[in-house]
Every structure is written in C-alpha cells, then in structure tokens.
C-alpha cells in the first residue's frame, strides 16, 4: 500500500511539474527594465587623448603579425597587433591614462585605409578597468578620420558613439605616429 501511495504521489508530482513547464514563456528574447541593471539616464562624455604607435625601436608597441603578400605600394593585407599607450598629452612623458589594445590591418588596395579594431582600456580614476571599443575604417592621410564606438565595458556598458582621429606627428620613414583621439561616447 505504501508503494502504491508513493507511486501515486510521484505521478501527481510529475503531472504538476509538466503543467508548470507547459505554462512557461519560451520566448527567444524579452524586454528588461533597465533600472534592474542600474542603468539610469544616459550621458554623453568627451575624452581627448593621444595614441602612441611605436612601430620601431626597443619599446615597439605595434608588431607586424601578417606581412603583405604582394608588392603593392599600400601594403594591402598587412596586419599589426597593438598595445599602444594612451596619454593626456602628445609627449610620451605625459600622464598615461590607458592602453589601446587590438589590431589594425591594411584593408584598401588603392590608398592607406586601415581596418581598426581596438579597445581603449583605461587605468585612470573612476574609469580604471573600463573599456571603449572602436571598430572602423581609418584613411590615415585624411586630416580627420571618424570611426564608430561600438561598445564598451565597465562604466561604458552599452556605449555607442564615435571617435575623431587627427595625426599629431608621423615619421614617414619608420611609421611611428602620435594620433590625437577625441572620443564622444553615450553611456549610462
């Protein structure tokens, strides 16, 4: 008798569980209240910093990982990995506020047009540990280049915006460069 009662109990329990599962909402996505994640009013921030691309020397921060396979004048196909200093001023001795980590690749056959994918990883103040992600086209010899901000982490979760890059200094022989970046980013 105890076995029968136990069997009936398990049958009822499994039937009840099946009803509960059948009543679940199996949608692929759902809307979430942003306040549950601490997302308040969106703000617009501006940062101006200098990106130091050292291609040569004992402290190179840009390393060739894929050489171009052709003899084109644009080095089409070349890929460089970077871990470039981000400073407050154009001098390397300026305050270090982060690193630009990622890569750039020569993606144009007729001009110097780079595909850039990099995280600006900040180490300063309240932004320490936060990143801004930039992904876009950089036509190096244009006076001002604009690339999108496609995301971020930490204080820059859900970030979007753009950067404007202006060459501050370029050594045409070595390829070393200092570029001013103005970042305009919407974030919570």
- In order of their start, the domains of the chain are 42-187 (2.40.480.10)
Residues β-bridged to residue 163 = 147, 183
- 36 vs 72: CA distance, rounded Å: 54
Residue 80, token pair as written in the block: 């460089």
Angle at 160 between CA 41 and CA 105, to 5 degrees: 160
What pLDDT sits at residue 153? 98
Look-up: residue for tokens 């994918």? Answer: 117
Q: Determine the pLDDT at residue 22.
A: 52
Determine the pLDDT at residue 36.
Answer: 87
User: 3-state DSSP call for residue 8?
Assistant: helix
pTM of the model: 0.83
Give the whole-angstrom CA distance, residue 110 versus residue 188: 40
Q: Are residues 181 and 49 in contact, defined by beta-carbon separation less than 8 angstroms? A: yes
Residue with tokens 């969106």: 42
What is the pLDDT, as a whole number, of residue 11?
A: 59
**Average confidence (pLDDT) per 10 residues, the chain, 188 residues:** 57 54 68 86 97 96 94 93 98 98 97 97 98 98 98 97 98 97 97
């Amino acid at each position: 008798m105890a076995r029968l009662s136990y069997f009936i109990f398990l049958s009822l329990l499994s039937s009840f569980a099946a009803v509960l599962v059948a009543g679940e909402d199996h949608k692929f996505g759902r809307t979430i209240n942003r306040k549950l994640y601490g997302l308040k009013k969106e703000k617009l921030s501006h940062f101006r910093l200098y990106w130091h691309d050292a291609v040569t020397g004992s402290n190179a921060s840009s390393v060739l990982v894929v050489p171009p396979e052709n003899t084109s004048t644009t080095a089409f196909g070349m890929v460089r990995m970077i871990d470039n200093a981000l400073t407050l001023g154009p001098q390397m001795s300026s305050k270090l506020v982060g690193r630009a980590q990622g890569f750039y690749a020569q993606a144009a056959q007729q001009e110097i047009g780079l595909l850039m994918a990099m995280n600006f990883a900040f180490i300063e103040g309240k932004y320490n540990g936060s990143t801004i992600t930039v992904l876009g086209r950089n036509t190096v010899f244009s006076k001002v280049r604009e690339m999108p901000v496609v995301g971020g982490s930490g204080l820059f979760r859900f970030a979007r915006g753009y950067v404007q890059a202006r060459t501050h200094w370029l050594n045409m022989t070595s390829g070393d460069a200092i570029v001013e970046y103005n970042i305009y980013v919407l974030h919570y």
